Amino acid sequence: MGRELGRISGPLLADNLKRNGQNLAFDTSLLYFDVNNNYVGINSLGGSSALTVGTTKNDNSVGTSTLNTINLIGTTANIGNFTISSNTIQHLTGGITLSPNQSSNPTIVTPGLSTSNLYLSGNTYTTTVTNDSVNFTPNGTGSINFANSGTVQVTVNANLHATGNITWDGNITFGTNANERITIPAEVNSDIIPVPGTGTLVTPTSQIFTTQDGLTLTAQDGTILYTNPAAPYYPNTYSYNLGSSSLVWSNLYAKTGTTSVSVTASGTITATKLWAGNIGVTGNSIGSNYPADNLYLSPNGTGYVSFNGTKVFNGNNIYVPSSTNSLLINSTGTGYVQFADTNGLVTPVGTTSNRPASPVQGQMRFNTDLGYEEIYDAGAGGWIAVYGSTGQLATITDIDNDSILYSIIFGR
């Protein structure tokens, strides 16, 4: 038997839809009207908001429900514990967790992210408050790491300030050209500690006990008595090491009062006054630290003492700087040159043929060909004998004249 469909007129339908406080359900829970609260439920027997989409099927079994809509317009929406209003998503009871799929490179993409003070856009962090700071604060003993490996370069184009210790595990490079400098405006409140090295093994020598008269002390059984030396030891040698022999201090400064010292990379030490051992250097003067101390220039072995790059002293010898220069001992005022010795003075020795090519007035030498000392006198015609007439040894006349002179002097 067929079922006929009929139409209910408008006035009759209006009376039938008047619920008078009674809820209306279609297919149990497929569509549910809560007429008292003005709520509508879909797959829900009763909602807690104007529109509730549930997961209960019309046979009261649990299933899934999907709400597909276009142009769903509203000023506020509550989903779970979230409230969406205007351009704000707010959690009503706690924080918000964004958890993408953890199994396939999870990524959250946003053109920009902002807090009340910080804005992240692209690869730039910046503050949104003028003159505000950006703080990286790890928890507990955590650290801030810029690239755990590789050759990543961290560049600071502004001032860098640290209130704690700074530790470098690699090399330290200050500047990339000669025009860059390091300035330490405050005092260094710590020491530069040298590294102790291993020195040469020292074994103390055991000595025989002797009396003041030099007699050897022996025990009752005749055993010679010796001192008991200390154990062998290695004295430490301390040095300031920058990492390798090729690394040196470019400039080293030490200042106390009005005295300053600088050491340059070329090995030059500049100081207003410098003391080393008992030797003092002040201005252009070199002297001993104590008035009674001697000043020694002592080369080692066959070494020599040189002035201005020229060898002058070697052992007990004094050298003329070169074959073309003279050794000048200059005495001014009423002073004179004295050779304080009892052995005599040795003049240069040579033949007539190897006389100096350009002699000077008063130059003296011993001529082995002539057998006497000769002196250069330009006014007398050149080389002449030290004693006697020009160019001759002392004659009988010279001797007689001197005898008469000395007889008159001594009253003979």
Instruction: Evaluate whether residue 356 is within a structural domain.
Output: yes
Instruction: Evaluate whether residue 202 is within a structural domain.
Output: yes
Instruction: Evaluate whether residue 76 is within a structural domain.
Output: no
Number of separate domains in the chain? 4
Instruction: Evaluate whether residue 93 is within a structural domain.
Output: no
Could you tell me what percent of the chain has a pLDDT over 90?
Answer: 5
Contact 114, 121 (CB under 8 A): no
Position with higher pLDDT, 300 vs 323: 300
- Residue 360 and residue 396 in one domain: yes
Rounded to the nearest 10 degrees, how much is the dihedral formed by the CA atoms of 295, 297, 298, 304?
Answer: -170
> Domain boundary residue among 48, 66, 84?
66
* Cβ neighbours of residue 412 closer than 8 Å, sequence gap 6 or more: 406
Secondary structure of 87-137 as H, E, C letters: CEEEECCCCCCCCCCCCCCCCCCCCCEECCCEEEECCEEEECCCCCCCCCC
- Residue 204 and residue 227 in one domain: yes
Say whether pLDDT at 83 is over 60: yes
- Residue 267 and residue 209 in one domain: no
Tens digit of each residue's pLDDT (9 = 90 or more) over 23-41: 888 877 778 888 888 888 8
Instruction: Evaluate whether residue 113 is within a structural domain.
Output: no
- Residue 28 and residue 53 in one domain: yes
Local confidence band at 320 (pLDDT 50, 70, 90 cut-offs): low
d(CA 332, CA 401): 36
Tens digit of each residue's pLDDT (9 = 90 or more) over 271-305: 777 777 788 888 788 887 766 677 888 777 778 88
Mean of the per-residue pLDDT values of the chain: 75
- Residue 43 and residue 24 in one domain: yes
> Domain boundary residue among 36, 51, 66?
66
d(CA 215, CA 209): 9
d(CA 401, CA 388): 11
Tens digit of each residue's pLDDT (9 = 90 or more) over 138-155: 888 888 888 777 777 888
Give me the pLDDT at residue 394, please: 61
Local confidence band at 202 (pLDDT 50, 70, 90 cut-offs): confident
- Residue 258 and residue 227 in one domain: no
Tens digit of each residue's pLDDT (9 = 90 or more) over 328-366: 777 677 878 787 778 888 888 999 999 998 899 989 999
Local confidence band at 10 (pLDDT 50, 70, 90 cut-offs): low
Give me the pLDDT at residue 412, please: 47
d(CA 167, CA 174): 15
Picking from 14, 89, 78, 18, the residue whose alpha carbon sits closest to that of residue 50 is 78
Instruction: Evaluate whether residue 3 is within a structural domain.
Output: no
Domain residue limits at 400: 328-410
Local confidence band at 1 (pLDDT 50, 70, 90 cut-offs): very low
Tens digit of each residue's pLDDT (9 = 90 or more) over 57-75: 555 565 556 666 677 777 7
Contact 403, 412 (CB under 8 A): no
Instruction: Evaluate whether residue 163 is within a structural domain.
Output: no
Instruction: Evaluate whether residue 133 is within a structural domain.
Output: no
Tens digit of each residue's pLDDT (9 = 90 or more) over 361-405: 989 999 999 888 889 999 888 998 876 544 455 666 666 666 666
Tens digit of each residue's pLDDT (9 = 90 or more) over 170-195: 777 777 776 777 776 666 666 666 66
- Residue 336 and residue 388 in one domain: yes
Question: Global pTM?
Answer: 0.34
Give me the pLDDT at residue 321, please: 59
